[in-house]
Amino acid sequence: MRVSIVGSGYVGLVTAACLAEVGNKVLCCDIDSAKVAQLKNGISPIYEPGLDELLERNQREQRLDFTTNIEEAVNHAELIFICVGTPPKEDGSADLQHVLKVAQQIAVHMNGFKVIINKSTVPVGTGERVADEVRRTLIQRNTLHAFTVVSNPEFLKEGAAIDDFLRPDRIVLGTDETPAGQRALRMMKALYAPFQRHHERLMCMDVRSAELTKYAANAMLATRISFMNELANLAEKIGADIEQVRAGIGSDPRIGFSFLYAGCGYGGSCFPKDVRALIQTGEEAGENLSILRAVNSSNQRQKRVLVDKIIQRFGEDLSNMTFAMWGLAFKPETDDMREASSRTIAAELVLRGARVQAFDPVANETARKALDEDLATFRQDGPLLGHFEVTNTQEETLFNADALIVCTEWRMFKSPDFLMLSRTLRQKAVFDGRNLYDPALLADYGLIYEGVGRRA
């Protein structure tokens, strides 16, 4: 089939590459001409395992192309995915200006029946707003074309996005009951046929339910994490070990093992933003989502948990201390620093006078920029900027370091040379924000160990 994708961010690129991979003719459109030029040269602007190969192969085999010309994209296909950003506004609600602008441009260039597919994470009711925008523009221009709006939220996890797209748990399609809506549903079913395995993955529902499903899934997962984080904090106080509790409850199939890991808080471009946006949707609808308010504030606190432990051990003034930090990205297999806990931790330490020497296998560069920005907002003169440094190797972070902080559970951090750590770290302390290590083993090496909810 022919498919156009507007927006070559994370969701748009992965969707484009995977739809091309199964044989569709995909044209991906972005207003950023530098990015489009880069993509045409086979350079991916984001780090995502497997994406580069897909981009290269499908461009070479002429199933995938990029353009800055929206008219070309609208003419290219009946199926047009909107994958542009929906950044949060001040009040936490999603800013739809880019989505609505694209809807308007689609209407301007429409040359026949179009299925407009919302793939960006958008609040309930956006399908109707997009339809209104298209209708309004068509009327203004005195043109008449049939169209329908479909909600097809994505459930990709960064770092595993290609696999999630090619082998999805579910494909949610929200369409309306009109003949155009039902025609679109048949087209979407055909488009997703190559991704159906073993049993029906398609969930067909109305547009509003599809839109809410996306937020509900992320909010549920964020709730599980915050719940476990709070239990972990309690476990520490009453002498229990959250890792044992996790195994104990996860074995109940009604609970399950995944997303039960306590740690130094969740981050990323989705959970924090989506939880806040859903709270805002609730507010607008006159519904107080009190559980989600608690999830959100609990997570803000959790990002500081390691800082509190460090202060408790070393005091408020950290001016003579150097911390090694392993892992900066909000999770492994990505260079994404959005709302990463490492930002809160590094900034708090630097503001107390400490030096932070950090290493992440892929996020060093994005982290340096993010931290420079964060620190600049605290101190206009920026005297502390040099206090946060990234190093080329994991080992270099340890140079003259007092303690080690683990923020991201990259596999390469899981079994370090503990003997070397205990010989190198001046204060022999490890603050493990992802519960990677066995407290007893670290004690064997004479290391002080502080995890999240662990019994020492």
DSSP code string of 72-85: HHHHH-SEEEE---
Give the nearest distance from C-beta 421 to ligand UGA in angstroms.
23
Contact between 259 and ligand UGA per CB under 6 A:
yes
Q: Contact with ligand UGA (CB under 6 A): which of 260, 292, 349, 363? A: 260
Q: Contact, 359 vs 326, CB < 8 A?
A: yes
Asked if 204 is an active-site residue, the reply is: no
Applying CB under 6 A, the site for ligand UGA has a residue count of 20
Q: Contact with ligand UGA (CB under 6 A): which of 147, 165, 271, 449? A: 271
| Site for ligand UGA, residues 143 to 182, rule: CB under 6 A | 154-158
Give the nearest distance from C-beta 259 to ligand UGA in angstroms.
4
Cα gap 24→19, rounded to integer Å:
6
Q: Contact, 135 vs 100, CB < 8 A?
A: no
Tokens 């984080």 belong to residue: 229
Give the nearest distance from C-beta 210 to ligand UGA in angstroms.
14
Contact between 96 and ligand UGA per CB under 6 A:
no
Mask of contacts with ligand UGA, 99-128, x by CB under 6 A?
----------------------x-------
Q: Contact, 295 vs 277, CB < 8 A?
A: no
Contact between 270 and ligand UGA per CB under 6 A:
yes
* Exposed e or buried b per residue across 244-282, where buried means at least 16 C-beta atoms within 10 angstroms of its C-beta: ebbeeeeeeeeeeeeebbbbbbbbbbbbbbbbbbbbbbe
Q: What is the largest CA-CA distance in the chain?
A: 78
Contacts of 249 (CB under 8 A, 6+ apart): 255, 260
Question: Which range binds ligand UGA by CB under 6 A, 21-29, 110-118, 256-264, 411-419?
Answer: 256-264
Give the nearest distance from C-beta 334 to ligand UGA in angstroms.
7
Main-chain dihedrals φ then ψ at residue 115, nearest 5 degrees: -105, 115
Adjacent-strand bridge partners of 82? 6, 118
Q: Which amino acid does the sequence have at 328?
A: L
Element (H, E) at 356: strand 355-359
| Coil, helix or strand at residue 140 | helix
Element (H, E) at 12: helix 10-21
Q: Contact with ligand UGA (CB under 6 A): which of 12, 127, 267, 361? A: 267
Q: Contact with ligand UGA (CB under 6 A): which of 221, 294, 351, 448? A: 221
Contact between 46 and ligand UGA per CB under 6 A:
no
Mask of contacts with ligand UGA, 311-330, x by CB under 6 A?
-------------------x
| Coil, helix or strand at residue 179 | helix
Give the nearest distance from C-beta 399 to ligand UGA in angstroms.
27
Give whichever of 155 and 195 is closer to ligand UGA, judged by the CB atom: 155
Catalytic residue among 28, 29, 83, 270: 270
Active centre residues (catalytic): 270
Binding site for ligand UGA (CB under 6 A): 121, 154-158, 218, 221, 225, 259-261, 263, 266-268, 270-271, 330-331
